[in-house]
């Protein structure tokens, strides 16, 4: 039975269906079915084959795991079942009504067709990227991921001179003409050169007298190739992006060139050829734009952070080489290591530096002056490049973190034997160490010995577990999200300290328990599941939660870059749809459940 008009209007009010053309909504309405479910009805149970996406019109649905523990309670305007549909149709949850409910049943085949045809639907149901690992190019990239949002505009009666001065001040090659009724036209530098400079038009005349009225435009759901083909066919360099008569963005030849030319490999190559930190800083300034492009191209979060981290690694190695050119050859072998997000290969658009130096035991007191100078050269250079000094002074410039290998072994032995709060903190940071440049053999024995000794010490392990529970997911009362209560980020979620950090901490504990050498969080979770430290179900849940939270964080930063803002980790949850908030909360519930499991000593979720 097809949907009624009321149900169709309800569906049209929900994202992502509100982004679909009217004719597509009519097709959906014809293929979907309304259904009523009495109290206690199981829509599907763990292990069932699911062939439908359920959308809640009214009532509540309880989602539980295979043990019966409640994971979430969904209300009107939420949907469920897409997890099973994107995992071969087999449910890993149970969905049961709490009270009578009215639902819309959307067939799996129809959902997959919508995902394939409409980018907003694809992004909505594939936020972790698991179903779409392929990297997008201009043939698949939607224009709304390519365009510059909030283009510079003026009114039709503004003077040509005022428009030209605005373009000059903003260093742009076009200005869009708008009025309350909507988009009117566009003026480019070529228009001003040809019509004012060459032909003598009066600069004080209204800009509307030289604009291209009703120019060619495209909607946000068009593809990058649509823009490229239009530019090539019509010999134009600017394409306004218009939706329902309203200007929402613009794509220029510069945008296309930047998208096609910019890559992590390009930045790595330019850094490797740089002659000083100032030249490198000009390259690293492009990292936010690269991040936005990588996210917009559909790359998975661990791919984006790995590519971003590769740039920091290259910058560090280049600075080490420049330091040796300046200071001369090192007196003894050394190894530069990164810790923190660089060590885990998880850097985003917001990163400081965390690093240290391990020296050969052949180092003498006079040799230390060389390594102090090398550390200062590299850390100062990284700061110039935008990798700011560590607030906690966890850097090789701190004499404590520039020591021979025997001293480092003593550090770890002491931290493991006496795990006081400082030792827990330092051990947590140092367990993320990763060699960057120098003699890597200096680290091999240290890592193996430390993991073995730490894993054997149950007291140290218990303290590490306790330390891992200090960062809690932002879960509030009544199925809400707990936001920051005061300060400049009031009413925002901290997607770093309350989002990814709790999972990073869990990954570190699992690596310790399993004596796993991986530093990357996702690699640790996968290795822990393979080693039996995590159960198959618990590992899958935590990986999914991590993917969603980390992807949300990157999408937030990418959007800030597109909006001309510096990226940060603070998300206003009111900008999320009901669906997105619900699933983000589900992810936080999984993290909280895993923390409780580790904290109780069980070590894994069954």
294 touches 307 (CB < 8 A):
yes
Residue 178 bridge partners (DSSP)? 183
Q: DSSP string spanning 175-204?
A: EEEEETTEEEEEEEHHHIIIIIITT---TT
Indicate the range of 107-111, 132-136, 419-423, 465-469 predicted with least confidence: 132-136
**Is residue 11 very low, low, confident or very high in pLDDT (cuts 50, 70, 90)?**
confident
What is the reported pLDDT for 88?
62
Helices 501-514 and 521-531 meet at what angle, rounded to 10? 40
What is the reported pLDDT for 446?
86
Dist. CA 132–CA 109, nearest whole Å:
16
pLDDT exceeds cutoff 50 at 128:
no
Phi, psi for residue 273 in degrees, rounded to 5: -100, -5
Residues with Cβ within 8 Å of 25's Cβ and at least 6 positions away in sequence, in order, are 8, 11, 12, 17
Which range has highest mean pLDDT (25-29, 78-82, 125-129, 392-396)? Answer: 392-396
Indicate the range of 35-44, 255-264, 350-359, 385-394 predicted with least confidence: 255-264
Token readout for 61 is: 């649905």
Dist. CA 334–CA 337, nearest whole Å:
10
In terms of C-beta distances under 8 Å and separation of at least 24 residues, what long-range contacts does 555-561 make, across chains too?
A: 555/127, 555/295, 556/495, 557/288, 557/291, 557/292, 557/295, 557/348, 557/349, 557/350, 558/291, 558/292, 558/295, 558/296, 561/288, 561/289, 561/291, 561/292, 561/349
538 touches 593 (CB < 8 A):
no
Higher pLDDT, 600 or 352: 352
Omega before 214 within 30 of 0, i.e. cis: no
pLDDT exceeds cutoff 70 at 140:
no
What is the reported pLDDT for 536?
87
What percentage of the chain has pLDDT greater than the value 70?
Answer: 94
CA-CA-CA-CA dihedral for 165, 166, 171, 172, to nearest 10: -110
Residues with Cβ within 8 Å of 123's Cβ and at least 6 positions away in sequence, in order, are 16
Dist. CA 530–CA 282, nearest whole Å:
43
CB neighbours (10 Å) of residue 152?
15
What is the reported pLDDT for 212?
94
What is the reported pLDDT for 346?
95
Higher pLDDT, 558 or 116: 558
For 477-501, how does the pLDDT look when each residue is reduced to its tens digit (9 = 90+)? 666 899 999 999 999 999 999 999 9
> Exposed, middle or buried, 252 (CB in 10 Å: 0-12/13-18/19+)?
buried
> Exposed, middle or buried, 486 (CB in 10 Å: 0-12/13-18/19+)?
exposed
For 237-281, how does the pLDDT look when each residue is reduced to its tens digit (9 = 90+)? 899 999 988 999 999 987 876 676 567 777 888 898 899 999 999
For 166-190, how does the pLDDT look when each residue is reduced to its tens digit (9 = 90+)? 999 988 899 999 999 899 999 999 9
Average pLDDT, the chain: 88
Dist. CA 295–CA 303, nearest whole Å:
10
What proportions of the chain, in percent to the nearest 5, are helix, strand and coil? 50, 20, 35
Mean pLDDT along residues 347-357: 91
What percentage of the chain has pLDDT greater than the value 90?
Answer: 50
What is the reported pLDDT for 461?
87
Higher pLDDT, 233 or 231: 231
Dist. CA 67–CA 83, nearest whole Å:
18
The pTM assigned to this predicted structure is 0.67
What is the reported pLDDT for 131?
41
- For the chain, the distance separating the N- and C-terminal CA atoms, rounded to the nearest angstrom, is 41
Dist. CA 52–CA 61, nearest whole Å:
15
**Is residue 592 very low, low, confident or very high in pLDDT (cuts 50, 70, 90)?**
very high
pLDDT exceeds cutoff 90 at 572:
yes
What is the reported pLDDT for 553?
96
> Exposed, middle or buried, 473 (CB in 10 Å: 0-12/13-18/19+)?
buried
pLDDT exceeds cutoff 80 at 466:
yes
Higher pLDDT, 297 or 194: 194
What is the reported pLDDT for 130?
39
What is the reported pLDDT for 585?
92
251 touches 241 (CB < 8 A):
yes
Indicate the range of 152-161, 197-206, 223-232 predicted with least confidence: 223-232
Q: DSSP string spanning 349-418?
A: SS-B--EEEEE-TT--GGGHHHHHHHHHHHHHHHHHTT-BPPTT--STTSGGGEEEHHHHHHHHHHHHHS
């Amino acid at each position: 039975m097809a949907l009624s008009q009321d149900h169709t209007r309800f569906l049209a009010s929900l994202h992502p269906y509100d982004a679909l053309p009217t004719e597509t909504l009519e097709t959906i309405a014809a293929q979907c079915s309304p259904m009523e479910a009495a109290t206690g009805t199981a829509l599907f149970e763990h292990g069932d084959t699911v062939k439908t996406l359920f959308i809640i019109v009214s009532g509540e649905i309880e989602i539980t795991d295979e043990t019966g523990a409640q994971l979430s309670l969904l209300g009107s305007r939420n949907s469920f079942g897409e997890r099973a549909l994107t995992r071969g149709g087999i449910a890993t949850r149970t969905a049961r009504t709490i009270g009578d409910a009215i639902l819309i049943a959307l067939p799996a085949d129809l959902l997959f067709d919508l995902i394939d045809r409409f980018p907003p639907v694809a992004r909505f149901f594939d936020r972790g990227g698991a179903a779409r690992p392929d990297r997008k190019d201009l043939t698949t990239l939607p224009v709304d991921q390519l365009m510059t949002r909030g283009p510079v505009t003026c009114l039709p009666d503004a003077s040509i001179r005022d428009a030209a001065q605005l373009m000059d001040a903003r260093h742009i090659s076009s200005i869009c003409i708008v009025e309350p009724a909507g988009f009117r036209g566009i003026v480019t530098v070529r228009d001003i050169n040809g019509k004012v400079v060459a032909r003598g038009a009066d600069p004080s005349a209204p800009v509307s007298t030289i604009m291209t009225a009703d120019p060619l435009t495209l909607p946000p759901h068009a593809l990058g190739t649509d823009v490229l083909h239009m530019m090539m066919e019509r010999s134009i360099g600017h394409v306004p992006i218009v939706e329902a008569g309203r200007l929402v963005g613009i794509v220029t030849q510069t945008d296309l060139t930047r998208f096609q030319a910019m890559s992590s490999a390009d930045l790595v190559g330019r850094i490797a050829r740089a002659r000083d930190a100032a030249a490198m800083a000009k390259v690293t300034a492009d990292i936010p734009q690269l991040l936005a492009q990588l996210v917009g191209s559909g790359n998975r979060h661990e791919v984006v952070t790995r590519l971003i981290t590769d740039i920091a690694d290259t910058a560090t190695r280049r600075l080490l080489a420049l330091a040796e050119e300046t200071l001369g050859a090192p007196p003894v072998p050394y190894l530069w290591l990164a810790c923190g997000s660089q060590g885990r290969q998880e850097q985003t658009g917001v990163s400081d530096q965390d690093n240290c130096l391990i020296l050969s035991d052949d180092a003498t007191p006079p040799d230390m002056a060389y390594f102090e100078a090398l550390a200062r050269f590299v850390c100062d250079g990284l700061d110039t490049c935008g990798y700011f000094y560590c607030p906690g002074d966890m850097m090789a410039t701190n004499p404590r973190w520039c020591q021979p290998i025997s001293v480092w072994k003593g550090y770890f032995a002491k931290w493991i034997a006496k795990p006081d709060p400082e030792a827990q903190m330092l051990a947590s940071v140092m367990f993320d160490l990763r060699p960057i440049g120098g003699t890597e053999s200096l680290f091999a024995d240290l890592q193996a010995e430390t993991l073995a000794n730490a894993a054997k010490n149950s007291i140290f392990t218990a303290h590490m577990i306790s330390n891992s529970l200090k960062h809690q997911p932002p879960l509030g009362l009544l199925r809400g999200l707990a936001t920051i209560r005061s300060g400049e980020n009031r009413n925002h979620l901290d997607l770093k300290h309350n989002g990814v950090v709790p999972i990073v901490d869990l990954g570190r504990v699992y690596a310790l328990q399993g004596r796993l050498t991986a530093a990357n969080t996702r690699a640790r979770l996968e290795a822990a599941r393979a080693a039996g430290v995590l159960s198959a179900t618990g590992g899958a849940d935590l990986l999914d939660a991590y993917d969603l939270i980390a992807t949300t964080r990157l999408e937030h930063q990418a959007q800030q870059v597109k909006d001309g803002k510096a990226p940060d980790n603070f998300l206003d949850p009111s900008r999320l749809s009901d669906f997105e908030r619900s699933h983000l909360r589900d992810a936080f519930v999984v993290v909280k459940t895993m923390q409780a499991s580790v904290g109780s000593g069980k070590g894994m979720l069954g």
